[in-house]
Amino acid sequence: MTYLSSNKKHHNAKGIQVSASVFRSFLRYLVMIGKVRAELADCIPAMPGWRAAHLPVFLVKSEIKQLLKACNRHTHKGCRNYAIMLLLVRLG
């Protein structure tokens, strides 16, 4: 566990997740072949790593209004963009 924690500085979240998975698999293998009696794989916790965690969860009403106002609805492309944005806002 200390090894994984210390590597946070040198590896990204996905790399640490893979390392933890490899350690767990190796420890399970050692139990399977009889080299280790205890199930040590349960001692290695799952490493969190959320995709797109930096993205905003939602827009507030004022941001939505500002976004929709940015579309020029006097042109075909602007009307299309407004319709797409409106669908995204309403349907999530």
21 pLDDT band, cuts 50/70/90, is confident
> pLDDT tens digit string along 62-80?
999 999 999 999 999 999 9
52 pLDDT band, cuts 50/70/90, is low
pTM beyond cutoff 0.75: no
Residue 1: per-residue pLDDT:
52
* Cβ contact 16:4 at 8 Å: yes
Angle at 29 between CA 25 and CA 33, to 5 degrees: 175
Please state, for a pLDDT cut of 70, what percent of the chain lies above it.
Answer: 77
